[in-house]
Chain A
Amino acid sequence: MISKLKHLLTALAISGFVISTPITATVAEPSAATIEEGKKLSFSRSKGNCLACHAIKGGSMPGNIGPALVAMKLRFPDKQKLVDKIWGTTESQVVPNSMMPPFGKHGILTDSEINTITDYIYTL
């Protein structure tokens, strides 16, 4: 037990805040409340702050560092790929030197927050 804990502590010390288990996209049809919550999380400066870099319908003063988030179903037929992109899995990081922060991998957002945001982004 102690050695396990020690192992964990060392791992933590080395990797800092890096977490390495990606999450699965929700399959159930999200409720209107979930989508509203996802919108709030996406716009909030202290949470997703997606507007810092992406134009999103209904969001004021967006940045233009990343592409506008539109037609997401068309661009991400597989919802899991969208979750992975926001979470920041290694396979989803294909653009070199991208500004897109790895929200799950670096613990910026919780897994449930990422799922909620994805549910909202997927309606765009």
Chain B
Amino acid sequence: MNKTLLIALSLGISVLATSSMAATIDPEKDRQQFVDFFKAKNPNITPDEYINGAYIYSADKMAQWEAAEEFPPYLDAIDEGEALYNKDLAAYQQCFGSDVSKIRVKYPYFNEAIKQVVTLEGAINKCRTDSGLKPYGWKKGSIAQVSAYLADNARGQKIDVKIESDAALAAYTEGRDFFNKPRGQFNLSCAKCHVDNSGRKARSNTLSSALGHTTHFPVFRAKWQNLGTLHRRYEGCQKNVRAQPYKAQSETYRNLEFFQAYMSNGLEINGPGYRE
């Protein structure tokens, strides 16, 4: 195994250098290092398994979760998403085409015209406002239901985020820096919890690994008793460390999603998901 990786593992040092200059960053090298890090940390877990979050770390929890997924609490939400989609079908078809299985996999992507990361939820609401429809709220309810319907139709396809310009690389780099930088009163970064300490427990919550973080969203959480988007979860994690959260769909969170999704390239889309 790579020697620096071994040292990083034994010291618990972040896998990716914390501060960065866009010119020196190679996303594909980052991703490979990320995957290798988790492989080294848990040789018995294959990369594809990370799409199942923290459950991969406990046979008991996995069994309970698999039982829950057999008759998952998000089924009604998928149906509602389908109804909502069909209600405004003309508008949606104009934006996304007629094949609902080909939509989810295109997001997030970097739009070179506006120099911004576009997320699935962002595209849904833009489509609505462009067609004179009212936009949905950002974190739960209709937006999450439509997103769940599209995710369900894309199940099994692979995350495939592309970075093809300097501007896209800059957005990725911002997301990467955000992920690595400690913040909030507790002085914690996403990386400390979801890379360095993934698999460990904070009280009784096992920390999931950041590899595979975006594959199964939107998520039905038992704690929420409804479906929520990835950015809703970001807000939650930021509040937990007493950091000021950013707004769902803010540029900061879109760049973070872009980075996180890139790290999960090649993994299967398995949304919507169920979590505790």
Interface on A for B, CB 8 Å cutoff? Answer: 17, 51-53, 61-65, 88, 95-99, 101-102, 106-108
Contacts and interface: CB of A to CB of B under 8 A. Distances in A.
B223 to A, nearest CB: 15
B237 to A, nearest CB: 14
B202 A95 contact: no
Q: Which interface class (under 10, 10 to 19, 20 to 34, 35 or more) fits B?
A: 20 to 34
Given A64-B200, A99-B192, A106-B186, 13 more contacts: A52-B202, A53-B202, A62-B203, A63-B200, A63-B201, A63-B202, A65-B200, A65-B201, A99-B188, A99-B197, A101-B187, A106-B187, A108-B185
A86 to B, nearest CB: 13
B203 A63 contact: yes
Contacts of B185: 17, 101, 106-108
Contacts, number: 50
Contacts of A102: 187
Describe B's contact surface by its main secondary structure: loop
Interface of B: 11-14, 185-188, 191-193, 196-197, 200-205, 242
A96 B203 contact: no
Nearest to B189: A97
A4 B204 CA distance: 47
A64 B205 CA distance: 10
